[in-house]
Structure 1
C-alpha cells in the first residue's frame, strides 16, 4: 500500500469486483422472477467458469504478446456491455431466454479477459519482492467486492429499480478502464514477445514447460484439485445448509453463513499482511489447503449453527491463504517470457475447473444429500492433498 499506483489499482479493483456482484444480484433476481428456470441457473454457473477453462491459457498468451493493460480494458468494456444490455432489455421488457444466455456468456468472457492479465500487471506494478503482499491484498479486494456487492446491489435495486440500477452499475467499471490508460508498466508485459498464440497447442506446450519445475507443477495441481473437488460449489448449496441448521429465518441464516466465509478471507489477508511470517512455499500452501478440506468436512457434519459459522469463518481464512500463496509462487517462479501462459494455466486449473465442482457437490448432492456430497468431496480431497504433500517433501 506504500505504492501509489497499487493503491489506485486496489481501489479500482474493489469497485470492479463490486460491480460484478451487483450485476449478479440484479440480473439473477430478474431472470429468476421471469423464467423460474433451474436450467438457466445452471447455465449461469457454467458460463461464468467455462471461459476460464477454455481460454485462460490463450488470454495469458495474448498478455505475453501484447500489453496486458489493453486486454484488461477489453474485459471492462465487455462488463459494461453486459450491464447495459441487461438494462436495455429490462427497460423495454423484451428479455428472452436466449438474450439472458448471451449476456451471461459475455459476462463470463469479460472475467477471463480481466483476471490473468491483471495478475501480470501486479507483477509489473510492485515487482517480485512485494508480489505476495499484492496478491493477498487483491484477493481481499475480491472478497470485499463479494461482501459489499450484494448489499449495494440490493440498495440500488430498491432505490432506482432494476433497469436504471443495472445501467448505473456500468459506471463502477469506469475507474479501472480509465486508469489503465495511465497505469505504470515495467515494460516486461508491454513489450511484444516472440511467441504466437496457438490455442490448444499452447496448453500442451505450457504443461510440458512446467513439468520439470516442481513449484509450478505442484501449485497447478493444488489449484486444480481444490477447484474440481469443491471450489466454491458449496456457496450455491448454502440455502440448503441454512435450512437444515434450522436457526431462525433461513434467509438470514443463509446470509450470515456466506458472510462468515467472506469475513474469514478478509481477516486472513489482514492477518497475513500484519504478521508477515508465513513465507510462501509449496508445502505451506498444501498444508493450508489440507486444513481447508478438514474444516469443510467438519462443516458438512455439524448441526450446530454457531459452530457452523465458526467453521465457515475458518474455511474462508484457509482458502484465501492457500490460494494467494499458490498464485504468488506461480507468478514468481514462472519464466519471464511465458509468464502469461503459465499464470493462464494456473487460472485454468484454479478457476476453470470450478465448472465441474457443481457435479461433485451439487449433482451428487441431489442424489445423496448435500451434507454427504460435501463431506465425501472434502474427505477425498484430503486424501489427494496428503499425496500431493508427500510428493512435495521429496527432494527435486
Structure 2
C-alpha cells in the first residue's frame, strides 16, 4: 500500500469485485423469482467457472502478446454489457431463460478476461519484491467484495428496485475501466517474441514448458486438486449444513457460517501482512492446504454449531494463505517470456476446475448426504496433498 499506483488498483479492484457480487445478488434473485429453475441455477455456476477452464491459458497468451490493461478493460466492458442487459430485460419484462443463459455466459467470460491479466499487471505495478503482499491484498479485496456486495446489492434492490438497481451497478466498474488508461506497466520481456495465440496447443505447450520447474508444477497441481475435489462447492451447501446443525433459524445460521469463512480469510490476509515472516515456498503452501482440508474434514463431521463456526473460520484462514502463496510462487518462478501462459494455466487449474467441485460435493451430496460428500472429498484431497508434499520435498 506504499505504492500510489497499487492503492488505486486496490480501490478500483474492490469496487469491481463488489459490483460483480451485486450483479449476482440481483440477477440470481430475479431469475429465481421468475423461473424457479434448479437447472438454470446449476447453469449459472457452470457458466461462471467453465470460461476459466476453457480460456484462461488463451487469455494469458493474449496478455503475453498484448497490453494486459486493454484486456482487463474488455472484461470491464463485458461486465457493463451484462448488467445493462439484465436491467433492460427486467424493465421491459422480456427476460427469457435463453436470454438469461446468454447474459450468464457473458458475465463468466468477463471474469476470465479480468483475472489473469490483472495478476500480470500486479507484477508490473509492484515488482517481484512486493508481489506476495500485493497478491494477499487483492485476495482480501475479493473477500471484501464477497462480504460487502450482498449487503450493498440488497440495499440497492430495496431502494431502486432490481431493474434500475442493476443498471446503477454498472457505475462501480468504471473506476477500474478509467484507471487502466493511466495504470503503469513495464516493458515485458516477451514483447519482442510476439508469440501467436494457438488455443489448445498453448495449453499443451505450457504444460510441457513448466515440466522442468518443480515449483510451477507443484503449485499448478495444488490448485487443480483443491479446486476439483472441494473448491468452493461447500458454500452452496451451507443452508443444508446450517439446518442440520439445528441452531435456530437456518437463514441466520447460514449467514453466520458464511461470514465465519470470509472472516477467517480476511484475518489471514491481515496477519500475514503484519507478520511478514512466512516466506512463500512450495512446501509451506502445501502444508497450509493440508490444514485447510483437515479443517473441512472436521467441519463435515461435527454436530456442534460453535465448533462448526471455528472450523469454517480456520478453513477460510488456511484457504487464503495457501492460495495467495501458490499464486505468488507461480508468478515469481514463471519464465519471463511466457508468464501469461503460465499464470493462465494456473488459473485454469485453480478456477476452472471449480466447475467440477459441484459434482464431487454437490451431486454426490444429493446421493449420500452433504456431510459424507464433503468429508469424502476432503479426505481424498488430504491423501492427494500428502503425496504432493512428499513429491515436493523429495530430492530431484
Please tell me the TM-score bracket, short chain as reference: over 0.9
Corresponding residue for 1:382? 382
Corresponding residue for 2:195? 195
Contact 2:189 2:336 in 1 (8 A): no
Contact 1:242 1:253 in 2 (8 A): yes
Corresponding residue for 2:50? 50
Tell me the distance in 2 between the aligned counterparts of 1:215 and 1:4. Answer: 31
Cα displacement (A) at 1:193: 3.7
2:129 is paired with a residue of what secondary structure?
coil
Any residues of structure 2 matched to 1:229-378 within 5 Å, and which? 229-378=229-378
Any residues of structure 2 matched to 1:154-233 within 5 Å, and which? 154-188=154-188, 191=191, 193-233=193-233
Tell me the distance in 2 between the aligned counterparts of 1:243 and 1:70. Answer: 46
Tell me the distance in 1 between the aligned counterparts of 2:395 and 2:137. Answer: 32
Q: CA 1:157 to 1:193, structure 2 compared with 1: closer, same or farther past 3 Å?
A: farther
Contact 2:190 2:336 in 1 (8 A): no
Tell me the distance in 1 between the aligned counterparts of 2:339 and 2:191. Answer: 13
Cα displacement (A) at 1:307: 0.8
Corresponding residue for 2:64? 64
Corresponding residue for 2:90? 90
Tell me the distance in 2 between the aligned counterparts of 1:383 and 1:7. Answer: 40
Tell me the distance in 2 between the aligned counterparts of 1:110 and 1:196. Answer: 22
Cα displacement (A) at 1:187: 1.9
TM-score (norm: length of structure 2):
0.99
Q: CA 1:284 to 1:156, structure 2 compared with 1: closer, same or farther past 3 Å?
A: same
TM-score (norm: length of structure 1):
0.99
Tell me the distance in 1 between the aligned counterparts of 2:32 and 2:79. Answer: 21
Contact 1:64 1:192 in 2 (8 A): no
1:349-371 Cα shifts (integer Å, max 9, x gaps): 00000000000000000000000
Tell me the distance in 2 between the aligned counterparts of 1:332 and 1:28. Answer: 38
Contact 1:83 1:170 in 2 (8 A): yes
Say what the alpha-carbon RMSD is for the aligned residues.
Answer: 0.8
Contact 2:12 2:176 in 1 (8 A): yes
Q: Gapped runs of 5+ residues in structure 2? A: none
1:25 aligned to 2:25?
yes
1:282-311 Cα shifts (integer Å, max 9, x gaps): 000000000000000000011111111111
Tell me the distance in 2 between the aligned counterparts of 1:46 and 1:153. Answer: 22
Cα displacement (A) at 1:194: 2.2
1:124 aligned to 2:124?
yes
Q: CA 1:189 to 1:100, structure 2 compared with 1: closer, same or farther past 3 Å?
A: farther
Contact 1:203 1:345 in 2 (8 A): yes
1:196 is paired with a residue of what secondary structure?
coil
Contact 2:229 2:377 in 1 (8 A): yes
Corresponding residue for 1:80? 80
List structure 1 segments (4+ residues) > 2 angstroms apart after TM superposition: 189-194
Cα displacement (A) at 1:212: 1.1
Contact 2:190 2:337 in 1 (8 A): no
Tell me the distance in 2 between the aligned counterparts of 1:190 and 1:149. Answer: 37
Tell me the distance in 2 between the aligned counterparts of 1:183 and 1:395. Answer: 43
